[in-house]
Structure 1
Amino acid sequence: MSDKKTIAFFPEAAFGPALNSVGIAQACEKLGHKAVFLTDPGMGGVYSGYGFEEHLVNMSEPMPPEEMAKYWVDFINGHIPNFNKTPYEQIDNYVKDCWDAIVETSIWAEKDLPSVLDKVKPDVVCVDNVILFPAIKRYCRENGKAWVRVISCSENEITDPDIPPHLSGCGENDKECFEKFDTKFKGTVKPAHEKFNAFLAECGEEPYELGEFFEASPFLNLLLYPEPAKFKRRNPLDPKQFQYLEGCVRDEKPYDIPTFEKNNDKPILYVSFGSLGSGDTDLLKRIIDTLGTMDVRALVNVGDYKDQYGALPGNVQIDSWFPQPSVIKQMDAVIHHGGNNSFNECLYFGVPAIVMPYVWDGHDNATRVQETGHGLYMHRANWTADQLKANIQTLLTDPAMKTKLAATSAHMQGQNGPAKAAKLLDALAKDA
C-alpha cells in the first residue's frame, strides 16, 4: 500500500481504554495502515499479544514490572472500603488520589514521550486518557500532524450544562446533584490542578480552567457512546470535530462454553468487575453463593485471585481471564461494574446487565443503563440474595428490556464503530 501511514495509540494504562484502542487499531490495519502502541511498561505485552508493536513510555518512577503491578493492586485494594460510598463521598478519597496520580503520569511521560514520538514518527496520534500530554501537541504542531482524543469512558468527559458531571453518577435531570458534585470536585482537585497548570506553563501550554485537565482535539474527537444511550446536550457537538462511534468492540478469539456439573440447559450469566474490581473477592463470593442457588449457569472473572476460591457450586465456573466480547455475545445476562468495554459490549450484543459500579465512570454508566431501559443499577454491597435473584429474573424475562436491547444491538452492529473510527483516522493520516 503506497499510502500506508503510521497511526499511534496512547491509551491510559488500564484495560478499558487499552482494549478499546485495540479494536480501533485492528480496523486501521485492515485498511492497510500500521498501528503501533505507546504504553506504560505496566501494560507492556498487552498490545504485542494482539500483534502490535509496542514502544514504552514511563508514566511513573521506573520499577520492575512485578513491583509496578503490585503498586496498582495495592492502590485499588486499599480503596475497597471506599467502593461502597456514593460518588460524592468518593471525591475526598478515591477521586482525589486518582487525580493526584494522573497528574504525575503526564509529568513523568514528558521525560520519555518526546524521544519515542521522534522515533516512531506517527502520522496520527490517538490519545485515550483524561489528561493532556504536552509532548503530543508539540510533536503534532511541529510536524504538521494531527492528534485525536478518544473518549472511551462516559461521554460526559466532554461537558455540557445539561448533562451530569463526569464521575458523578447523577440522573440526567438532577440539576441539584450536578451542582453539588461539581462544586465539591473542583474544590478537592484544586491543588492537583494548580500543579498541572504549573507543568503546562513549563511546557509552553496555556492553563486550563479549574476542573479541566484535557481539551477537545481541534482535529477529531471519538466518543464511544451509542445513540440510544446518548445524553441530550444544550450545545450539540459539531460532527466535523466530534464523532460518535456507537461502541467499539474488538475482535477476540472464539470462546466455547464449558460443560457444567449441573444446569447445562439453563440460562447462562457472565460476572466481571474488571481487572481491578476482581480484588474484591468478598463481593464476588457473595454473588457466586447466590448464583449457586439459582437455575442458571455462570462464568465469573476472578482476575489474579483464583487461588482464593475454594469449592464452587456445580453451576459456576471461574477463571482469571475471559475473551470478553466472545463470551458476552453468548450470554443471557451479565453482571458488571460499568466499565466502558463491558457497558458497550452488552449493548452491542443486546445482552441485559445488572451494573454494580464501584468507582469512576462506572457510576455514570450504571445510571445511564437504568435510565435508558437497557438493564438495572444495583448498589454493589447493599443487596440481599433475594433482591439479586429477582433482578436477574427481570433481566431474563422482561419483554420491554429485550425489545430495547435488540434495537440497540442492531443499531450498533450496523454502525461498526471500529471501522468508522478507522475511516476517520485514514482521512486524517492521508492529509498529514
Structure 2
Amino acid sequence: MAAPSTIALFPEASFGAALNCVGIAQELRRLGARPVFICHPGFSGVFSECGFPEYQLADDASGPPTDWNDFIERHQDAFRQSPFEQLESYVGPTWDAIVDTAIRVEEPLRQLLSRLKPDAIVLDNVVMFPAIANAGVPWIRVVSCAETEVPDENVPPYLSGCGGSPGPGWQKFERAYERVTGPAYRRFSAFLAECGLKPPETSNFLSASPWLNLLLAPEIIRHRRQAPLDPQTFVFLDGCVRHEAPYEPPRFASHNDAPLVLTSFGSLGAMDVVMMTRMIEVFSTLPCRFLVNAGHWRDAYREVPDNVFIDSWFPQPSVVAQASLFIHHGGNNSFCEALYFGVPSLVMPYCWDGHDNATRATEAGVGRKLDRYGWSDGGLAAAITDLVADKAMAGRLKANAKTMQAAAGATRAAEEILKVAGAPSIGARAS
C-alpha cells in the first residue's frame, strides 16, 4: 500500500490565510493525505490545535523578524485614510516588510523543505519564495484574498476599492501603485534572479503556478474578465470553509429571541477599542443580540450592554451559520463565510483587499459598505436594521448558500491538489 502523499501548506502570517488552509487540510486528511504546516513565528500552535503537524520556520538572524502586531499598531493611523492615500502610508511599507521576510527566511525554508520532502507545496501568500519554486515538486498557489489579486483589464486594481467600469480612477491608482511599490519590486526581482528565477510581471510579486491556482471567489461576486483564466490551471472555489466545533450563543439579559449579529474585524482590527466602543453604544439601542470579537483586548471593555456579549474569540463559521448579519472588515475569509451561510455583510474596511470586498459587496447586492470611521450613530443603526430586514437580499443569499455548500469548495481544492501531487486514486483513499 502506497504511503500517503505529504502536502506541505505554507500560509502567510495572517489568520485569514492560516484558517483557510486549515479548511483545505481537513479535506486533504479526510481523503487520506498527510497535510503538514509550515508556520511563521507567532503562529505556533494554530495548526497543532487543529490536529496537524506544524514546523516552525526558523529565522536566519540577518535582521529582526517582522512583528506584524507591532507593524499594524505603528501604521494604524493609515486606516483612517482612503485606499489611494494608504499607498504611501501603508501599502508601500507593507510590501517592504513582506519582501524582507521572503529574503530572510529563504535559507531556513530551503532546509526545512529538504527535510520534509513533500509531494506538493500549497502556498497561500502574496509573494513568491524561491525555495518553493526550486524544491523540485509541484506547487499550488492559493488566492485567499480578493479576486482582484489576479489582474485583468475588467477587474478593478488590487487594493483600490474601485468599482464600476475601467476609467481614469483605475488608471490613476494603478500608476500610483506601481510607483510606490517599485523599489520593493525591483529589490525582490533582484533577489529572485540571485535564486535563478525570473521576476514576475511588473508590480506583481507572485506569478501564477504552472500547476494549479485556487481562487476563493464565489460566483455571486466574481468579476467578468476580459481574458478568462485557463480552467486547466485556475480553479474557482465556490465554498471553502473549515469545520469548527458547534457554538451555542450565551443567554443574554435581554433580546434572546432577537436576530443575532456577529461583529469581527480580525485579529488586527480588534485593537481599535475606541471605535469598537462607539459601535457598542449604538448596538445597545437596537433590537438585536450582538457577539463582538475583541481579540486580545477583551478586558478593555468594562461596561457591556445587556444585548452584547464580548469575547476574545469565536468559532466563526459556527457563529456565522446562526447569524442574521455579519459586520466585518472585508477579509476574504469572512466575506466568503458570510456568503457560504447566506448571511448579509456590513463591510467596514480598513486596509488591503477589504476595500475591494466592501465595494464588491454593494455592487453584487450581498451587503453594504460603510466607512470604518466616517459614520454617525444613526447611519450605523440604519445600516444594521436595513440589512437585517431586507427579505429580498436574504432570499438571494440563502439560495446562493445552497449552491455554494453543494459545491464543497474545500473538497474540490483537496482533490485538485492531490491530482497535482500525483496521488493514487482519490476514491480509493476516501473509502
TM-score band w.r.t. shorter chain? over 0.9
SS of the equivalent of 2:350 reads: coil
Q: Match of 1:38, SS?
A: strand
Partners in 2 of 1:336 and 1:396 — Cα distance?
15
CA contact (8 A) 2:201 2:207 kept: no
Q: Tell me how far apart the structure 1 counterparts of residues 225 and 314 of structure 2 sit (CA, whole Å).
A: 36
Deviations 1:210-233 (A, max 9, x none): 301110000000001101110000
1:362 pairs with 2:358: no
Distance 2:135 2:406 in 1: 36
Q: State whether structure 2 residue 50 is matched by structure 1 residue 58.
A: no
Structure 1 partner of 2:305: 313
CA distance in 1, matches of 2:162, 2:330: 14
Partner deviation per Cα, 1:128-153 (whole Å, 9 max, x = no partner): 0010101111012xxxx210000000
Q: CA contact under 8 A between 1:11 and 1:127: conserved in structure 2?
A: yes
Q: Equivalent residue for 2:427? A: none
Q: Tell me, yes or no, if the aligned pair for 1:300 and 1:316 is still in contact at 8 Å.
A: yes
Match of 1:111 among 99, 103, 107: 107
Residue in 2 aligned with 1:23? Answer: 23
**How much does 1:253 deviate?**
1.0
**Distance (whole Å) between structure 2 residues aligned to residue 260 and residue 428 of structure 1:** 49
- Partner residue of 2:429? none
TM-score (norm 1): 0.95
1 CA distance for matches of 2:249 and 2:290?
10
Deviation at 1:399, TM superposition (A): 2.1
The structural deviation recorded for 1:308 is 1.0
CA-based RMSD of the aligned residues comes to: 1.6
Counterpart pick for 2:84 among 68, 82, 88: 88
Alpha-carbon distance between aligned partners in 2 of 1:217 and 1:62, rounded to the nearest angstrom? 29
1:418 maps onto 2:414 in alignment: no
Match of 1:137 in 2: 133
Unmatched runs of 5 consecutive residues or more in structure 2: 425-431
Quick one: distance in 2 between partners of 1:297 and 1:78? 33
In the TM superposition, what whole-angstrom CA distance separates every residue of 1:260-308 from its partner, at most 9, and x where no partner exists? 1111111110000000000111111111110011111100000001121
In 2, Cα distance between the equivalents of 1:50 and 1:153? Answer: 22
Instruction: Give the Cα separation in 2 of the matches to 1:2 and 1:320.
Output: 43
Match of 2:337 in 1: 345
Match of 1:149 in 2: 141
1:169 to 146, 161, 170: 161
Q: 1:56 to 1:62 in 2, by over 3 A?
A: farther
1:121 aligns with 117
Counterparts of 1:281 and 1:174, CA distance in 2: 37
Matches of 1:407 and 1:42 in 2, distance apart?
39
Identify if the C-alpha distance between structure 1 residues 254 and 364 changes in structure 2 by more than 3 Å, giving closer, same or farther. Answer: same
Deviation at 1:68, TM superposition (A): 7.0
Residue by residue over 1:227-260, the C-alpha shift from the partner in whole angstroms, topping out at 9 and shown as x without a partner, is 1110000000111010011131000111111001
Q: Is the 8 A contact 2:348 2:370 kept in 1?
A: yes
What is the match of residue 363 of structure 2? 371
For residues 261 and 188 of structure 1, do their structure 2 counterparts lie closer, same or farther at Cα, with a shift above 3 Å needed?
Answer: same
SS in 2 for 1:55: strand
Q: Secondary structure at the match of 1:409?
A: helix
Describe the SS at the equivalent of 1:75. helix
1:398 corresponds in structure 2 to 390
**Of 165-174 and 48-57, the range deviating more from structure 2:** 165-174
Distance in 2 between residues matched to 1:250 and 1:350, nearest whole Å: 16
Q: CA deviation at 1:166?
A: 1.0
Q: Is the 8 A contact 1:60 1:105 kept in 2?
A: no
Corresponding pairs, count: 424
Match of 1:330 among 322, 328, 342: 322
Q: Is the 8 A contact 2:154 2:166 kept in 1?
A: no
Task: Tell me which of 216, 227, 242 is aligned to 2:234.
Answer: 242
Q: Check 1:58–1:180 CA distance in 2 against 1; reply closer, same or farther (3 A cut).
A: farther
Q: Post-superposition shift, 1:28?
A: 0.3
The amino acid of 1:310's aligned partner reads R
Change beyond 3 A, Cα 1:60–1:81: farther
Secondary structure of the structure 1 residue equivalent to 2:153: coil
Q: Encode CA deviations 1:90-118: one digit per residue, 9 max, x unaligned.
A: 00011011100000111012120111111
**1:40 touches 1:59 (CA, 8 Å); kept in 2?**
no
CA distance in 1, matches of 2:125, 2:144: 8
Q: Indicate if the aligned counterparts of 2:143 and 2:216 stay in contact, CA closer than 8 A.
A: yes
Could you tell me how far apart the structure 1 residues matched to 2:292 and 2:83 are? 26
Match of 1:43, SS? coil
Q: TM-score, normalised by structure 2?
A: 0.96
Moved over 6 A (4+): none
2:32 matched to 1:13? no
How much identity, in percent, do the aligned residues show?
Answer: 47
Shift of 1:174: 4.4
Classify the secondary structure of the residue corresponding to 1:430.
coil
- The unaligned stretches of length 5 or more in structure 1 are none
Q: CA deviation at 1:61?
A: 4.7
Contact in 2 for aligned 1:59/1:105 (Cα 8 Å): no
Shift of residue 207 of structure 1? 2.2
Amino acid at match of 2:91: V
Q: Note the C-alpha offset of 1:60.
A: 7.7
1:385 corresponds to 2:381: no
Against the structure 1 CA distance between its residues 385 and 62, is the aligned structure 2 distance closer, same or farther, given a 3 Å change threshold? Answer: farther
